[in-house]
């Protein structure tokens, strides 16, 4: 089976404009979208540890011996737009870079910067596998940073399509009719988290049974013209808290002395997304 090493940024302290707290966190969120799509299409995925430095990441990639290595970053330095790097022209690294760029370029809100070559980037020159490195957009630009934060799901899906195309595997295509239907439900107040339903109401994904039951009840109430109310609090260890405030896994509450960084990132991108965001249990 084809294999890939996914290497989201480990640069925890790279904060950006607005609410862009950490390049490491956001790129891991993008990879959380990308990875299961690749796995569902039969690609073996290896992944770095957010607590590693770059030398450890490359050493692990070389140990795993994947078919390709793919680094996922956001940019800084006063520009805008996306660019994808390969080590040198020709070969599978450039082919991967171009396959990914072809899918992400139509998605971005501004002119992009193309496929480029860089022999100095460590993840391109020191990996045994052919490698590409994407800079999705500039996190120090407010518009770019806001776009990334608001489009983590479609960015991850676009990267997945590019990688699948590289491997010659038929990529899942966007379903505009489903998206429109979900948007209608959101506009009518039936659901609050359309991104969750767009991500999971597709082939090879699963909707939590209790959420499906709640949706059915809300749709039935809507059709009968009956009112319904959202549950705005979630049951957590230690009692009921509102999403965000007091949540034990919110990023601002995880910066405790001695906390393990890898554990924090895992909580931020997994537990927090599952139970705190709008769309957590009780709030579709």
Across 150-181, b (16+ Cβ under 10 Å) vs e yields ebbbbbbbbbbbbbbbbbeeebeeeeeeeeee
Domain boundaries along the sequence of the chain: 3-166, 176-275
The answer to whether 115 and 101 have CB atoms below 8 angstroms apart is yes
Residue in 182, 239, 184 with CA at minimum distance from that of residue 207: 182
Q: What angle do CA 16, 17, 18 make, to 5 degrees?
A: 125
pLDDT at 257: 40
d(CA 162, CA 153): 14
The two tokens of residue 154 are: 């479609």
**Ranges in the chain, pLDDT < 50:** 230-259, 270-282
3-state SS track over 3-17: EEEEEECCCCCCCCC
The two tokens of residue 176 are: 């505009």
pLDDT at 191: 80
pLDDT at 261: 57
Q: Could you identify the residue written with the tokens 């290896």? A: 46
Residue 239 CB burial class (10 angstroms; 0-12, 13-18, ≥19): exposed
Can you say how many angstroms the Cα of residue 141 is from the centroid of all Cα atoms in its chain? 19
d(CA 16, CA 23): 8
pLDDT at 276: 42
pLDDT at 245: 37
The answer to whether 97 and 84 have CB atoms below 8 angstroms apart is yes
**3-166, CATH topology level:** Aminopeptidase (3.40.630)
Task: Give me the residues paired with residue 116 across strands.
Answer: 85
Residue 242's alpha-carbon distances to 169, 280, 283, in angstroms, are 43, 11, 11
CA-based R_g, the chain, Å: 20
Residue in 86, 6, 100, 83 with CA at minimum distance from that of residue 50: 6
pLDDT at 241: 32
d(CA 38, CA 70): 13
């Amino acid at each position: 089976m084809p294999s890939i090493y996914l290497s989201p940024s480990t640069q925890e302290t790279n904060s950006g404009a607005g609410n862009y707290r950490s390049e490491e966190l956001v790129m891991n969120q993008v990879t959380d979208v990308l990875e299961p799509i690749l796995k569902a299409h039969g690609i073996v995925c290896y992944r770095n540890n957010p607590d590693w430095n770059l030398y450890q990441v490359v050493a692990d990639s070389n140990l795993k011996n994947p078919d390709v290595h793919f680094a996922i970053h956001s940019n800084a330095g006063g520009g805008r737009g996306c660019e994808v790097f390969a080590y040198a022209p020709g070969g599978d690294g450039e082919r991967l870079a171009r396959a990914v760029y072809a899918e992400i370029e139509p998605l971005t809100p501004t002119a992009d910067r193309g496929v480029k070559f860089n022999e100095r980037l460590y993840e391109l020159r020191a990996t045994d596998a052919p490698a590409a490195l994407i800079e999705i957009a500039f996190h120090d630009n407010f518009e770019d940073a806001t776009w990334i934060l608001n489009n983590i799901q479609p960015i991850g899906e676009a990267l997945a399509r590019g990688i699948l195309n590289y491997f010659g595997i038929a990529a899942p295509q966007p379903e505009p009719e489903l998206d429109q239907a979900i948007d209608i439900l959101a506009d009518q107040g039936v659901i609050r988290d359309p991104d969750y339903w767009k991500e999971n109401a597709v082939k090879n994904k699963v909707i939590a049974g209790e959420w499906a039951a709640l949706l059915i009840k809300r749709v039935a109430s809507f059709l009968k013209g009956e009112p319904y109310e959202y549950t705005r609090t979630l049951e957590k260890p230690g009692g009921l808290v509102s999403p965000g405030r007091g949540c034990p896994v919110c990023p601002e509450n995880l910066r405790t002395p001695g906390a393990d960084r890898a554990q924090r990132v895992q909580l931020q991108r997994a537990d927090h997304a599952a139970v705190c965001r709008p769309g957590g249990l009780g709030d579709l």
